Amino acid sequence: MNVAITGTGFMGAVHAEALKRLPGVELVGIQGSTPDKARAAAERLEIPRAYDLWEALVADDEIDAVHITTPNRLHYSQAMDAMRSGKHVMCEKPLAMNAAETRELADLAMEKGLVAGVNYNTRFYPLSIEAKERVARGDIGQVHSIVGSYQQDWLLLDTDYNWRVLAEEQGALRAVSDIGTHWIDLIQFITGEKIVQVFADLKTVHETRKRPQGEVETFSGKLGGVEATESVPITTDDMGCLTFRFASGARGMLFASQVTPGKKNCFRYEISGSKACLEFDSENPNQIAIGSRVEANAILLKDPSLNSEAAQRFTDYPGGHAEGYPDSFKMCFRAFYDCIAAGDQGTRDFATFEDGHRELEICEAVVKSAADGRWVDV
């Protein structure tokens, strides 16, 4: 498989590194917002081709699949272009700006018979797969509740800035959509539960932020060095409190925040059922706690010899050898390219465009609920 990446920022580099660690996949080219950026990234990441223009990438017949790592407002048009030229697509989340766009994307992927994934990489911590297996085989019993959080601190100050804070670049929602949707995707993936109603309370802590002159790539603002800024009004949420009802009758709660001091990139969940509770913290991703009423609580480690065959497929190191965030990208892409190699047969463990569409439907219900102050059906 010959692969090209669009976007040269935080995710562009993460995708490049993960692809280089994946046998059977050749990272051939990269394209950025300017020809200079593409060339600099190609040199830095040792990628053979730098495309001056997006159109040149799309026209390259040697490319089989495109990874989209640009700001959200570009995802729809880029994914459409790539699929129209017959390329498989792995797109960063959220899949697009609204559910009308994601519906079209999912339909086109189906019509063209292309493999189209959304990079909800948190599914691919080995213990996420293990949790899914254990829920499926009944270890948790009937699921009663799923609660948790996704928190970061890199947008805590009003001087913290990135394209994401603007609704026209990110979409109407930010903390909830940027990081909350990872959690929403993950817990539904693990449990098979489906969110059918939401009640949301959103808060924008900084209604204006100080925008530095020039581009600020993700997390790079924390390193300082900015001098000239201008004030910009902000409408996207810095944090959101969400309550869910699942189709089964189970209940859920999520707190998503990008302004929690000390939380760098921390998601947690507790999946509680009639028999046991599974508890995970991404800042300690090589273990999962199993809570019990009738036995001693236990800690299960990421260790292929103790984990299911399904988890083993996405584990490359023995117990005691940590696997974490960068590995989850490699494993997500393994699932994606295995699916292409198998002629799109077998299970699709990665999030599909249909899953990406569902996430946008949930986001739109969240916006409506917060505006109207009531439960909204998804």
Ligand X SMILES: NC(=O)c1ccc[n+]([C@@H]2O[C@H](COP(=O)([O-])OP(=O)(O)OC[C@H]3O[C@@H](n4cnc5c(N)ncnc54)[C@H](O)[C@@H]3O)[C@@H](O)[C@H]2O)c1
Residue of the chain from 18, 25, 81, 121 that contacts ligand X (CB under 6 A): 121
Q: Side chain identity at 132, as an amino acid letter?
A: K
Is 356 a binder of ligand X (CB under 6 A)? no
How many angstroms separate the CA atoms of 50 and 5, rounded? Answer: 10
Q: Residue 121 or residue 204: which is nearer to ligand X going by CB? A: 121
Q: Which is nearer to ligand X, 199 or 336 (CB)?
A: 336
CA distances from 147 to 119, 120, 136, 218 (A): 23, 19, 19, 28
Contact between 15 and ligand X (CB under 6 A)? Answer: no
In whole angstroms, the minimum distance from the beta carbon of 210 to ligand X comes to: 17
The answer to whether the CB of 332 falls within 8 A of the CB of 319 is: no
Q: Is residue 151 a contact point for ligand X (CB under 6 A)?
A: no
Tokens of residue 323, six digits: 């696997």
Site track for ligand X across 20-39, x = CB under 6 A: -----------xxx---x--
Provide the pairing of β-strand 239-246 with 251-257: antiparallel
How far apart, in whole angstroms, are the C-alpha atoms of residue 282 and residue 150?
A: 9
Examine residue 8 and tell whether it contacts ligand X (CB under 6 A). Answer: yes
The verdict on 364 binding ligand X (CB under 6 A) reads no
Q: Say if strands 276-281 and 195-203 run parallel, antiparallel, or are unpaired.
A: unpaired
| Nearest by Cα to 98 from 177, 166, 164 | 177
180 sits near ligand X (criterion: CB under 6 A): no
Tell me, residue by residue from 302 to 341, as one string, x for binding to ligand X by CB under 6 A and - for no binding. ----------------------------------------
With binding defined as CB under 6 A, does residue 221 bind ligand X?
A: no
Q: Check if the beta carbon of residue 96 is closer than 8 Å to that of residue 109.
A: no
Which stretch, 7-15, 80-88, 150-158, 337-345, contacts ligand X (CB under 6 A)?
7-15
Q: Is 119 in the site for ligand X (CB under 6 A)?
A: yes
Structure-block tokens of residue 142: 């009937």
Q: Does 6 bind ligand X (CB under 6 A)?
A: yes
Q: By C-alpha distance, which of 6, 174, 163 is closest to 75?
A: 6
Closest approach of ligand X to the CB of residue 293, in Å: 35
Q: 332: helix, coil or strand?
A: helix
Antiparallel, parallel or unpaired: β 49-51 and 116-118: unpaired
Contact 258, 239 (CB under 8 A): yes
Q: Tell which one of 22, 70, 161, 200 touches ligand X (CB under 6 A).
A: 70
Site for ligand X in 74-103 (CB under 6 A): 74, 92-93
Q: Which residues bind ligand X (CB under 6 A)?
A: 6-12, 31-33, 37, 54, 69-72, 74, 92-93, 119, 121, 163, 178, 217-218
